[in-house]
């Protein structure tokens, strides 16, 4: 079969398949990098990924529709226009990090609704790169069909190439690009690839000399945007496979330098070089003091789900505890804790694994297990279910205690109530501790839940944060009233909507 005259020189099928696969791969790489780049501003949660995926799919969808309109044209003309689209994709992909730097903070300052803010940030930075990346697929598919002796097979091959490219792009982003190049470097590579794709489309479409010079100028703009983005100060000190980690020096105090660890967008701990026993946040003060109160001694064994700045393990080691095990999934977090938060690796057994997995694989029993899973709107759901709490109960020694922090909105307390009823499925006594003062309207309050077989010997304690602060256990009747008012349900591995329960419920209702 002789192809129609208008596509006789549009290139072999393998080249069109390669373009399709490469552009699909690049689009998925950008989508995954978007999540990493937005995390320092809004954190990484179910809502973050939902917004990013929705924005990217919206861009792809509109791009596909536009590409279908372009594919109606004569093949070489359609390829030339697609080349210009790829130039735009290169420019806006290279500029995404710059847009994010400029737009994120103003959006967060002016948009009160967190879900709206996350979506707006994703739209501003990553909608246009996705839109332009979605255009080539229908153009290339139609050109391939016109050129092929068996157009139906060519169409299938083009669809397969796009899907294969998306798979490869996902794997490359997760296992190679982000880990080795960082987010900004990865976007720069994708922009350069889009530039290469533009050049191929121009070549296949027979771009004229003057237009080619203009295209080169546009490519230079994309390259300058890449270089400018790479030259900006890094948002984080360390960009690991899991988090963006930043150290913020605070004012020197009599105890020496004090550093704040920021993971993604949240403060995760504060340590002072010369005062390992002083806690600087309410949740670490309670997680430090309450288990020691329950044990009545300092030489107890402990397992910590999450390391962060290692504030509590560091304090307990300083008090003489030797049987300390910490499950921290990110080795980079441990490295930063050692280098900048004065954690001595020799004082604890550190397992770089998911906390639930590490606890399940451990055959030891512990006097104290500490769960520090709550941050903001990002909570690992598998660490707040009845199945996990049963595992915790199995690993506790007789007379042991489980302590976990909770952050919840005092106007609702849905998450707190759900965790209490879930813990009660496993433990005979569940206490709720918080600062000994009345709540403020709309306040997001820090709580610590103590779960075990017996009541605590006291109902109030005083701990330094770093100033002395009084904490108290809530009355059981008051806790039961919260549970009844919220209609709390037990959280399971199958049903644990913790993201919705921690205070964003009104946004979704």
**Longest CA–CA separation in the chain, Å:** 90
The closest alpha carbon to 136, from 246, 40, 23, belongs to 23
Matching residue, tokens 């304090």: 315
Angle between helix axes 13-42 and 178-205 (nearest 10 degrees) is 140
DSSP type of residue 377: S
CA 235, 344, 399: angle at the middle one, nearest 5?
110
Higher pLDDT among residues 499 and 304, named by residue: 304
DSSP type of residue 475: P
| Ranges of CATH 3.40.50.150 domains, the chain | 276-508
Interatomic CA distance for residues 56 and 125, integer angstroms: 10
Interatomic CA distance for residues 509 and 507, integer angstroms: 6
At residue 109, φ and ψ (nearest 5 deg) are -75, -30
Average pLDDT over residues 195-216: 78
Span 5-235: which CATH code?
A: 1.20.1250
Measured from the Cβ of residue 429, the count of other Cβ atoms closer than 10 Å reads 15
pTM for this structure? Answer: 0.83
User: In this predicted structure, which of 19-33, 44-58, 247-261 has the lowest mean pLDDT?
Assistant: 247-261
| 70: its two tokens | 């372009």
How big is the chain by its Cα radius of gyration, in Å? 27
Measured from the Cβ of residue 150, the count of other Cβ atoms closer than 10 Å reads 11
Average pLDDT over residues 301-322: 94
Interatomic CA distance for residues 17 and 10, integer angstroms: 13
| Ranges of CATH 1.20.1250 domains, the chain | 5-235
Pure H helices in 173-264: 178-205, 209-231
* pLDDT tops 90 at residue 421: yes
Average pLDDT over residues 381-398: 95
Tens-place pLDDT, residues 66-111: 999 999 999 999 999 999 999 999 989 988 988 998 899 899 889 8
Q: Is the bond leading into 466 cis (omega within 30 degrees of zero)? A: yes
* pLDDT tops 70 at residue 4: no
CATH tag for 276-508 (out of 3.40.630.10, 3.40.50.150, 3.40.50.300, 3.90.1150.10): 3.40.50.150
């Amino acid at each position: 079969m002789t192809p129609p005259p208008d596509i006789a020189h549009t290139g072999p099928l393998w080249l069109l398949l390669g373009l399709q696969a490469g552009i699909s791969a690049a689009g998925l790489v950008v989508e995954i990098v978007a999540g990493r780049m937005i995390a320092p501003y809004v954190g990484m949660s179910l809502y973050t990924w939902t917004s990013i995926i929705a924005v990217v799919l919206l861009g792809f969808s509109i791009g596909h529709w536009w590409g279908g309109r372009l594919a109606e044209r004569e093949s070489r003309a359609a390829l030339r226009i697609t080349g210009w689209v790829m130039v735009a994709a290169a420019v806006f992909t290279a500029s995404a990090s710059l847009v994010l730097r400029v737009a994120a903070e103003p959006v967060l300052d002016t948009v009160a609704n967190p879900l709206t803010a996350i979506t707006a940030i994703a739209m501003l930075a990553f909608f246009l790169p996705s839109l332009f990346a979605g255009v080539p697929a229908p153009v290339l598919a139609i050109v391939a069909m016109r050129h092929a002796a068996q157009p139906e097979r060519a169409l299938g091959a083009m669809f397969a190439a796009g899907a294969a490219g998306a798979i490869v792009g996902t794997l490359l982003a997760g296992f190679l690009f982000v880990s080795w190049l960082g987010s900004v470097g990865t976007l720069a590579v994708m922009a350069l690839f889009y530039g290469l794709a533009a050049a191929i489309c121009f070549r296949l479409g027979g771009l004229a000399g003057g237009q080619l010079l203009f295209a080169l100028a546009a490519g230079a703009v994309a390259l300058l945007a890449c270089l400018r983005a790479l030259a900006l100060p890094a948002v984080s000190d360390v960009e690991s496979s899991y988090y963006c980690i930043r150290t913020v020096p605070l004012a020197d105090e009599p105890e020496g330098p004090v550093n704040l660890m920021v993971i993604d967008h949240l403060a995760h701990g504060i340590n002072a070089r010369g005062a390992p026993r002083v806690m600087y946040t309410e949740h670490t003060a309670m997680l430090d003091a309450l288990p020691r109160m329950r044990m009545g001694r300092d030489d107890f064994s402990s397992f910590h789900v999450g390391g962060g700045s290692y504030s509590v393990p560091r304090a307990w080691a300083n008090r003489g505890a030797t049987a300390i095990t910490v499950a921290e999934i990110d080795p980079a977090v441990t490295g930063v804790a050692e280098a900048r938060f004065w954690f001595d690796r020799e004082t604890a057994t550190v397992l770089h694994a998911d906390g639930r997995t590490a606890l399940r694989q451990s055959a030891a029993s512990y006097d104290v297990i500490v769960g520090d899973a709550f941050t903001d709107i990002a909570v690992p759901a598998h660490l707040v279910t009845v199945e996990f709490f049963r595992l915790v109960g199995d690993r506790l020694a007789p007379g042991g205690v489980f302590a976990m922090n909770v952050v919840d909105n005092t106007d609702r307390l849905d998450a707190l109530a759900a965790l209490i009823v879930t813990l009660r499925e496993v433990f005979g006594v569940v206490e709720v501790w918080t600062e000994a003062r009345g709540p403020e309207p709309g306040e997001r309050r820090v709580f610590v839940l103590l779960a075990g077989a017996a009541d605590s010997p006291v109902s109030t304690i005083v701990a330094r944060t770093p100033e002395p602060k009084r904490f108290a256990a809530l009355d059981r009747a008051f806790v039961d009233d919260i549970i009844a008012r919220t209609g709390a349900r037990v959280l399971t591995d199958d049903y644990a909507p913790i993201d919705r329960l921690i205070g964003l419920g009104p946004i979704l209702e």
